[in-house]
Structure 1
Amino acid sequence: MSDYTGEVVPGGPTAVRELAHLVIRKASVSEQDNNAYLLTCRDTGEQLLVDAADDAPRLTALMNEGTGWLDAVVTTHQHWDHHRALPDVVGHTGARVAAGADDADALPVPVGELLHHGDRVTFGHVVLEVIHLRGHTPGSVALLYRDPEGSPHLFTGDSLFPGGVGNTQGDAERFASLIDDVELRIFDELPDETWFYPGHGADSTLGAERPHLPEWRERGW
């Protein structure tokens, strides 16, 4: 939808973006402004949830704003605030569970699909490419949708935000790993019009953030 901004607040309405083959619904589900994204294949009605972060009743309502059922959940990384509702959501829906291979053991439910860089996650006719971004956590993943009729869409978890990469707790080695992966695997590979959707807060585009990469690297966070 042309009026989509990606602005959501805890307890507020869903932001909806309609693409030719995919509907993206964004909701904020916690006091930490965690974003949860429901992706619906327009051809089949199958749905995938990115981060069952919190508030299972709100996530159930979100699913019902789509087609009412859930095929899969992808957890972008192991941090507790991104999977608090995962046991309830999986228990209620029976959805398959996917996460980065290096973070899977830290999740509160068994992970059936261990994701590595270059893998694909499919639901309905939609294909998401897995980008492994090492640094915020060992197994953090981003999910890339290449819209055949428009610009790419990228779900980045807590690895990339407007204004910088994810928190690496002042660890220089982890920061270097993350900024390198973000630059090489995202900015060097994808065009400026790529819209990205982070794990908290507002969305942005790669074009808006690209000029600041040298500044991020220089400041070290």
Structure 2
Amino acid sequence: MPYTGKVAVGGPPDVHELTDLVISKVAVGPMENNAYLLRCRATGEQLMIDAANEPDTLLSLIGEDGIGAVVTTHRHGDHWQALDTVVQATDARTYAGRYDAEGIPVPTDVPLEDGDAVTVGRITLTARHLRGHTPGSIALVYDDPHGHPHLFTGDCLFPGGVGNTHGDAEAFTALLNDVEAKLFGELPDETWVYPGHGADTTLGAERPHLAEWRERGW
């Protein structure tokens, strides 16, 4: 079945088969978070993005091969409820944005700055620091040499807008500025976006609405 990015809590993962990388997306409750498992085809090494909840679901997805790392996109509790259990079971290294690490109760082995590389096997992801939703939110970019980029945005970008800044005008401006400059300003329309909740999108689908988002203020 072709990948759609549509998953439901309690349902099966959706699997995006790329030339060098396999991306499995699963939804976990109770806040319908997305968790992503990335597998390097060449080496079999695996990395998880956001061990959000339901550790049994995530460990089943990981399987017997284990994982080398878990990246937490930001400090909000719904994105790390299963982190301790997954790390204890797999001995994975933990990664998070430097300015959010103190808000995550599981110690961060590798604090990430803007532009830092995160590797899984022969695959390299690039961290982008996006201020506003939290002080240290990060997105991860996989620039596929065989196709378009793939972008994991946590809660910083969704279909229809940027992440929640709870009515804080300064935080909203910072987030939209960073998203415009570091994501829309550097990546093509074909870039596939994998958010922290809900359905996927592309930068091309969202780009025409940037001015509208800025005007509405959320």
Q: TM-score w.r.t. structure 1 length? A: 0.97
The 5 Å alignment of 1:130-149 reads 130-149=127-146
The 5 Å alignment of 1:49-128 reads 49-64=48-63, 68-128=65-125
Q: TM-score w.r.t. structure 2 length? A: 0.99
Q: Structure 2 counterpart of 1:95, which letter?
A: A
Query: Shift in Å at residue 68 of structure 1?
Result: 2.6
Match of 2:187 in 1: 190
SS in 1 for 2:105: coil
Answer yes or no: is 1:213 the counterpart of 2:193.
no
Structure 2: state its 5+ residue gaps. Answer: none
- Percent same amino acid among aligned pairs? 62
Per-residue CA distance 1:157-183 (angstroms, 9 max, x = gap): 000000000000000000000000000
Q: Structure 2 counterpart of 1:143, which letter?
A: L
Query: Shift in Å at residue 123 of structure 1?
Result: 1.4
Match of 2:4 in 1: 5
- 1:38–1:63 Cα contact (<8 Å) kept: yes
Query: Shift in Å at residue 32 of structure 1?
Result: 1.1
- 1:191–1:207 Cα contact (<8 Å) kept: yes
Per-residue CA distance 1:4-34 (angstroms, 9 max, x = gap): 1000000000000110000000000112110
Distance, in Å, in 1 between the alignment partners of 2:29 and 2:52 is 8
Match of 1:45 in 2: 44
Structure 1: state its 5+ residue gaps. Answer: none
Distance, in Å, in 2 between the alignment partners of 1:160 and 1:215 is 15
- 1:51–1:73 Cα contact (<8 Å) kept: yes
The 5 Å alignment of 1:171-182 reads 171-182=168-179
Query: Shift in Å at residue 109 of structure 1?
Result: 1.0
Match of 2:25 in 1: 26
- 1:86–1:108 Cα contact (<8 Å) kept: no
Query: Shift in Å at residue 198 of structure 1?
Result: 0.2
Runs of 4+ in 1 over 6 A off after TM superposition: none
SS in 2 for 1:215: helix
Number of aligned residues? 218
Q: Structure 2 counterpart of 1:40, which letter?
A: R
Q: Structure 1 counterpart of 2:92, which letter?
A: A
Distance, in Å, in 2 between the alignment partners of 1:46 and 1:105 is 28
Distance, in Å, in 1 between the alignment partners of 2:180 and 2:106 is 32
